[in-house]
Amino acid sequence: MTKTKDSKRPHVVMRLVIVLGLVIGLGMSFWLIWIDQHRIVPIVMYHHIDELDHHAVATIPADRFEKHLQYLKDHRFDVLSMDELVQAKRSGQRISRKTVALTFDDGYVDNYEQAYPLLKRYGFPATMFISSDLVGKPGYISWDQAREMQNNGITFGSHTRRHIYLPDADREEQLDEIVNSRKILERELGMPVKHFSYPVGGFNHEIKQMVKVAGYQSAVSTNRGYDRYNEDVFEFNRVTIDETDNFGAIRWAKFSGYYNLFRTPKNPE
């Protein structure tokens, strides 16, 4: 019996479906490999750990913050200090997919009262970026509190002297804020200060060079900069977590390391 064109048609369609499936499968495989290769260790940024109605700046209540720490513990994350993260990046060390670094900006006293006891209980290191001239002022940590935290897993970095927006300052003021904040912190804390945080994330090429020359080993921004893969240790992007990130899927995305790949970087200035 002679096969008709109609009898051949299902076989042709089946072959096309198989070929299309292989192409899609290969494409997905390459895409997943690319995504995995560009996974970024999330550097999480907190500000206030306190009741929501107390502050205008990003705030998370202590019980919600503890849920974040419990999440990291339950899912067996490696929580690195900035020292450990920078060393791993510079040496090319392979970093676990479940790795995160915790940072705090501004040095609010609630970081000592609320965040520090929880970090200590969970045994997680963190880096707090503080403005040297604001230490001891109302609402900010004292030098004695900073020294106590430093003895219990907290690393301190510079956030300038007075928390100014560096791109708007002249060169002399920029140098003063970058260089002298480090000198003051090292004098008061008795330890090297290796890391810097650009206030409001603002920087440019010249400011970044000043930070390098001043002797810092890294600098962090927000989601500003041109290196979305965090290869440049002097413009690390960070992930802000606040009270709006309550849902499991959002929290997973921000702790996963893939978040930076899908958000739009902002101009650093």
| Domains contained in the chain, number | 2
User: Within a domain: residue 269?
Assistant: no
Report the predicted TM-score, pTM, of the whole model to 2 decimal places.
0.84
What is the pLDDT at residue 254? 79
User: Within a domain: residue 177?
Assistant: yes
Pair 71, 21 in one domain: no
Domain that holds residue 9: 1-37
User: Within a domain: residue 95?
Assistant: yes
> How far apart, in whole angstroms, are the C-alpha atoms of residue 245 and residue 135?
29
DSSP secondary structure string, 95-115?
A: --SSEEEEEEEE-BHHIIIII
Pair 143, 186 in one domain: yes
> DSSP alpha helices (H): ranges in the chain?
5-37, 62-74, 82-91, 109-110, 116-122, 143-150, 171-175, 181-189, 205-213, 248-256, 259-262
Tens-digit pLDDT string for the chain (269 aa): 455 555 555 666 566 666 665 655 454 444 333 344 446 889 999 999 998 766 667 889 999 999 999 999 999 999 999 999 999 988 888 888 899 999 999 999 999 999 999 999 999 999 999 999 999 999 999 999 999 999 999 999 999 999 999 999 999 999 999 999 999 999 999 999 999 999 999 999 999 999 999 999 999 998 777 676 788 999 999 988 776 666 666 777 778 777 766 666 666 76
